[in-house]
Amino acid sequence: LGYGSVDPSPVRFETAMAKQGPRKKLPKELAVINADNCTGCEACLEVCPVDCIMKIQQYDQFHNLQSWCEIDLERCVGCEVCVHIPGKKSNPYDLKVCPWDAIEMVPTDEWEAAHGINLPDAPPRPRPPPDGPGAAASTPYRPWPKYI
């Protein structure tokens, strides 16, 4: 590629910006989104350093109608960046990321007790995409299992 030329290959945002690999240990707190307050504005999605937040679309034919964000708790590292922008300790102002206060930090042990699920320290290794004709069209490839 020369100066001023454009690379025609698409670059996925999450692979270019996200921290790769599983988390090292189970965090003390996890970020949890209250779906009733979430409007799907994607403010949290843009700041997550590990790309564990994804947008859920209820209707495929109506873009942004009944959409909200959801956190993959097996990938969340508990950094709190989706809740507020970290600033100086001397600064009395807290800059919220979510304009609707839909995200809160919940202690991991309380979340596990309430849901009856023990989260692993590190999520399982990503699965390779399925091979064969029509495999990609039949099921979307998700490298991390989802808890619903």
Per-residue pLDDT of 50-94, as tens digits, reads 999 998 887 777 766 778 899 998 889 999 999 988 777 777 777
pLDDT of residue 22: 64
pLDDT(30) > 90: yes
Question: Residue 11 is encoded by which pair of tokens?
Answer: 């670059």
Instruction: Give me the mean pLDDT over the 8-13 stretch.
Output: 40
Name the burial class of residue 79, with classes exposed (0-12), middle (13-18) and buried (19+) by CB atoms within 10 angstroms of its CB: middle
Instruction: Give me the mean pLDDT over the 27-43 stretch.
Output: 91
pLDDT of residue 21: 60
Average pLDDT of the chain is 75
- Residue 147: phi and psi, rounded to 5, are -100, 130
pLDDT of residue 102: 93
pLDDT of residue 31: 94
pLDDT(8) > 50: no
Q: What is the rounded distance in angstroms from the CA atom of residue 82 to the CA atom of residue 62?
A: 26
Q: Whole-model pTM above 0.75? A: no
